[in-house]
Structure 1
Amino acid sequence: MNYKMTAYVLGKMLGVEALVLCIPAAVSLIYGETSDMAAFGITSAVLCVFFLLFGRKKPENGRIYGKDGLVIVAAAWILWSVFGALPFYLSREIPSYVDALFETVSGFTTTGSTILTDIEALSYGMNFWRCLTHWIGGMGVLVFVMVVTSLDDKSSMHLMRAEVPGPEADKLVPKARETAKLLYAMYLALTVAEIIFLLAGGMNLYDSIIHSFSTAGTGGFANHNSSVAYYDSAYIDGVITVFMILFGINFNMYFLLLIKDVKSVWKNEEVRAYLGIIVAATLVITCNVLSIYKEPLKAFRYSIFQVASIITTTGFATADFNLWPELSKCILLLIMVIGACAGSTGGGVKVSRFLILWKSILKQVKGMLHPKSVNVVKVNGKKISNETLQGVYAYFSAYVFVFGISVLLVALDNFDFATTISGVLTTLSNVGPGISRVGPIENFQSFSVLSKIVFSMDMLIGRLEIFPFLMICSPSFWRKHF
């Protein structure tokens, strides 16, 4: 490992966070929230010290190796969360540091789970910071740092591969920093477009910005206790629904649209499967909740919003689906695990992995029926390598293992089965709301400190796609390198 380069990148990353904190500090200044300004200022000053110690001078050996990339990405997310929680704690907006850390991890990982019982009591500056963490975390902390700094070494593609969600991280352009810039240009364009559409629907500028941040990062933080339901507007519901679905699509598809390769986008099996799941789940749930809402259009409006919110792991709510029939809740739990497309801002296991797993099962069945036949797994006409297949199998195994351990630890709080299971599922899949006591109008405040730490780790593990986090937690890794 290149320890000096690792420390340099992490120091630079903390320096960027110090600058980012000036944005919510400016919001606090506009609204006259002096105590919040002080909290942001102190945190920023602490981060600047670390930047001066580690992030000023680039080492002579500027290579970032594959293992370095995994360590840097995992450490970056943990450190941004640890320091990002300080403003909440120092301002006493969230008096408990564990609660503040939970909220910040939930923000950066774009999970959207919360410990806040009264969101509307949060100050403008802190609410803005809370939602800004979604926007930064949506595309990735290190991708963001690569855009605003000079990390342009070719080997920094290891950072992209370690952080961009999905079985594979394809290059859009030859250089990692150029890829990061292109991703953020598309990301910013979609965010600005949503802000404009929400403003056109009568939402004020502050609300439009923070809801667009949360939609873009597929996180789901809002500034009202009743989430998007507060506005009770079919137009606003529709705008946010469309953009949630758009942000759940692989950003490579937007690049293909930019170069007018529409055919490749439509032929992409993951996109078709993703849209197909949304359509099928919406139709079934609409029929299932028709007895509650009476009007077909109203049932459709609430159904498609919640389906889009859950499969993209955004977590916004316009209805309390805890009150829906069991079939609808089971469908929402299933698509919660599936998640959005690889290379999107959405969480979950990813549609591509389930697509590969499904085709692997078909391959095994065909092999049993026709032992002499040669069967390969193909997605979008391309053969999936054995390395990728093994990675998918390993990911599912690790997911089940982490899920099982987490459930056992959270079960010590002795909540009901649905609360425990969905609480772990929703944090590990970076969704936000679950069912029962962690439903769309509930929160995670009543859990113990241990459970909140477990949930925070699950959110990080889910966002980092398990292995980078598990690697730095492995004793053998530290024994080998220290």
Structure 2
Amino acid sequence: MSLRPDGRDLRIIGFYLGKIAMALALMMALPLLVAVPLGEWDSATALLAGVGIAAVVWQMAEWRLQTRASLTWAHGTVVVALAWLVGSLLAAVPLFLSGHFGDFLDAWFEAMSGLTTSGLSVVQDVDHLSYSMNFYRHLTHFAGGQGIVIVALSLFTAGGAQIGTLYVAEGRDERIVPSVVRTARFIYLIAGAYLLAGTLALFAAMSAAGLGGWRGLWHAVNIFFAAFDTGGFSPYSSSIAYYHSLGVESVVMVLMVAGTMSFALHYALWNGRHRELLRNLEVRTITLTLAAFSVLALYGLARAGTYTGTAGLFRKGFFTMLSAHSGTGFAVNAGTLYVTDWGVLAPAAVVAVMALGGMAGSTAGGIKALRIGLTVKGLLREVERLLRPESAVTVATYHSGKRRILQPPALIAATTVLLLYVLTYLAGALVGLLYGQWEVTETIFESVSAAANVGLSVGITGPDMPRGLQVTYLLQMWLGRLEFMAAFALVGYGVSLVGRRR
């Protein structure tokens, strides 16, 4: 695609977007396996409507836009950017028809939150949402977390080599294995293995807590989707606090850690390279930041007298810190308590780890541990260079899969994206302040949660939130998932297209 796109470029982009619509149609059909046996016919009708619309979009693309043209890097970035917008619009159809959303914008927000694994929710009366529609909400986490764009295009088309151009555009740093098709299949192999083990572990924990039978299994599957894919949706408004179970919370913490690990790290462990856990820059970075900010949060909670006893501090404080750092957004207390009862230090620590995020190439959002680690190493290298003789050569190295030398382009890219995240966090907070309903601490908390795809909330996000702020958070979730570059490419493409027509 040139800087002056033409009809051929539009055909290529539309054709591949049709493949995304096909994958979404298949995803929307799965909850019918819950709706039909339970007799939830209203939900089944809503799901079938979504399947039908997505299938029509796919067939129209196949019929009118069929092409054998190569997918270039420029095409790939535009496809990815549009996929999350178009995909979330299609995924919003069943939600809107469920009757639990005030208007289509609410349903679109929920779908975008699900597919970007953010977890902020505006559903009305989620406690009485049908089993099948609630399952569908959580399934959007699984689809979005595993990279529905990459998986759909690599498994359902013959252009696997060309589709590799999409991989970085979706916010993933590099392929796990040389073939992007094999990469997609490995991602789903890992996800499938965790799905089996995680669901069984959660079911056992829930059964021990008194929630057994098919309802316990239903809860286990939903919570697995939200935990492993660092999403944060929950079947009930009280989130993980609903279960009142240390066992459930413990299993969830393990799954959140697994979800925030990069798939490249999973691949290394899968192949027996266990030393990677000790040498990997991201593992070291996220371990240090989680430990440091958790100590700060626990000290702040103890000082504020929020919880009595070590057990309460750990279950509430550390769980929240891990949930925030992993980008999951599960809560074990009401969101308003972060403002009213948590003092100053603990909420600040939560905001900090939400902003930092998980590992690159994982389902987590935020700045990412790799960029933080590279930025710190770059700063230390500059300090070392200033202290050493001018003739000395200063080289910074790091380990990420293998020993690497920190090159200026990698450092520039890391710091650029870091700065973009910070600016996005501040912009969202400023928009919230303009409404004059919340303090700056509240708007910063909510803005970071949206842009970092976390999902923790102090109560700003909800069915009655201002529409302008809702659109702001929706765009933040989209930008955070794409890590900006694909979105910039889409804007550039749009400007070029308009310029061509003049």
Category of TM-score, reference length = shorter chain: over 0.9
Q: Secondary structure at the match of 2:30?
A: helix
- Quote how far apart the aligned CAs of 1:58 are: 8.1
| Cross-structure match for 1:20 | 27
| Cross-structure match for 2:486 | 468
- Quote how far apart the aligned CAs of 1:466 are: 1.1
Q: Any conservation in 2 of the 1:151–1:177 contact (CA below 8 Å)? A: no
| Cross-structure match for 2:258 | 246
The 1:278/1:394 distance shift into structure 2, 3 A limit, reads closer
Deviates more, 1:1-10 or 1:285-294: 285-294
| Cross-structure match for 2:414 | 392
| Cross-structure match for 2:363 | 345
| Cross-structure match for 1:411 | 433
Match among 278, 295, 304 for residue 290 of structure 2: 278
Q: Any conservation in 2 of the 1:73–1:162 contact (CA below 8 Å)? A: yes
Aligned 1:194-343 pairs, distance under 5 A: 194-201=198-205, 202=207, 203=211, 204-290=216-302, 291-320=305-334, 321-322=337-338, 323-343=341-361
Deviates more, 1:34-43 or 1:406-415: 406-415
One-letter amino acid matched to 1:366: E
Q: Secondary structure at the match of 1:382?
A: strand
Match among 58, 66, 69 for residue 73 of structure 2: 66
Identity of aligned residues (%): 26
CA RMSD of aligned residues (A): 2.0
- Quote how far apart the aligned CAs of 1:177 are: 0.8
Deviation per CA, 1:101-156: give whole Å up to 9, x if none. Answer: 11111111111111135320212121111111111111212123135413443121
- Alpha-carbon distance in structure 2 between the residues aligned to 1:233 and 1:402: 36
TM-score, length basis structure 2: 0.89
Q: Any conservation in 2 of the 1:63–1:153 contact (CA below 8 Å)? A: no
Deviates more, 1:225-234 or 1:184-193: 184-193
Q: Any conservation in 2 of the 1:130–1:221 contact (CA below 8 Å)? A: yes
- Alpha-carbon distance in structure 2 between the residues aligned to 1:164 and 1:399: 13
Q: Any conservation in 1 of the 2:176–2:263 contact (CA below 8 Å)? A: no
| Cross-structure match for 2:151 | 144
One-letter amino acid matched to 1:244: M
- Alpha-carbon distance in structure 2 between the residues aligned to 1:434 and 1:383: 39
Deviation per CA, 1:57-87: give whole Å up to 9, x if none. Answer: 8855341111111111111111110111111
The 1:116/1:371 distance shift into structure 2, 3 A limit, reads farther
Q: Any conservation in 2 of the 1:378–1:384 contact (CA below 8 Å)? A: yes
Q: Any conservation in 2 of the 1:407–1:421 contact (CA below 8 Å)? A: yes
Runs (5+) with no aligned partner, structure 2:
2-8
- Alpha-carbon distance in structure 1 between the residues aligned to 2:462 and 2:360: 28
The 1:277/1:24 distance shift into structure 2, 3 A limit, reads same
Q: Any conservation in 2 of the 1:62–1:153 contact (CA below 8 Å)? A: no
- Quote how far apart the aligned CAs of 1:30 are: 2.2
Aligned 1:413-452 pairs, distance under 5 A: 413-416=435-438, 417-435=440-458, 437-438=459-460, 443-452=461-470
Q: Secondary structure at the match of 2:122?
A: coil
- Alpha-carbon distance in structure 2 between the residues aligned to 1:395 and 1:134: 24
Q: Secondary structure at the match of 1:38?
A: helix
Q: Any conservation in 1 of the 2:145–2:229 contact (CA below 8 Å)? A: yes
- Alpha-carbon distance in structure 2 between the residues aligned to 1:66 and 1:229: 45
One-letter amino acid matched to 1:301: R
- Alpha-carbon distance in structure 1 between the residues aligned to 2:196 and 2:155: 19
Q: Secondary structure at the match of 1:331?
A: helix
| Cross-structure match for 2:5 | none
Q: Does 1:455 align with 2:478?
A: no
- Alpha-carbon distance in structure 1 between the residues aligned to 2:415 and 2:143: 30
- Quote how far apart the aligned CAs of 1:303 are: 2.1
Deviates more, 1:377-386 or 1:90-99: 377-386
TM-score, length basis structure 1: 0.93
Deviation per CA, 1:363-402: give whole Å up to 9, x if none. Answer: 2222333361332342214112322222122212322333
Q: Secondary structure at the match of 1:225?
A: coil
Deviates more, 1:447-456 or 1:388-397: 388-397
- Alpha-carbon distance in structure 1 between the residues aligned to 2:105 and 2:456: 19
Aligned residue-pair number? 474
One-letter amino acid matched to 1:374: V
- Quote how far apart the aligned CAs of 1:408 are: 3.3
Runs (5+) with no aligned partner, structure 1:
none
Q: Secondary structure at the match of 1:280?
A: helix
Q: Any conservation in 2 of the 1:256–1:265 contact (CA below 8 Å)? A: no
- Quote how far apart the aligned CAs of 1:55 are: 2.9
One-letter amino acid matched to 1:364: E
- Alpha-carbon distance in structure 2 between the residues aligned to 1:302 and 1:241: 12
| Cross-structure match for 2:84 | 77
One-letter amino acid matched to 1:200: A
The 1:477/1:5 distance shift into structure 2, 3 A limit, reads same
- Quote how far apart the aligned CAs of 1:480 are: 6.0
- Alpha-carbon distance in structure 1 between the residues aligned to 2:382 and 2:393: 11
- Alpha-carbon distance in structure 2 between the residues aligned to 1:79 and 1:55: 16
Q: Secondary structure at the match of 1:4?
A: helix
- Alpha-carbon distance in structure 2 between the residues aligned to 1:79 and 1:451: 21
One-letter amino acid matched to 1:425: V
Q: Any conservation in 1 of the 2:155–2:181 contact (CA below 8 Å)? A: no
Q: Any conservation in 2 of the 1:15–1:55 contact (CA below 8 Å)? A: no
- Alpha-carbon distance in structure 2 between the residues aligned to 1:63 and 1:174: 19
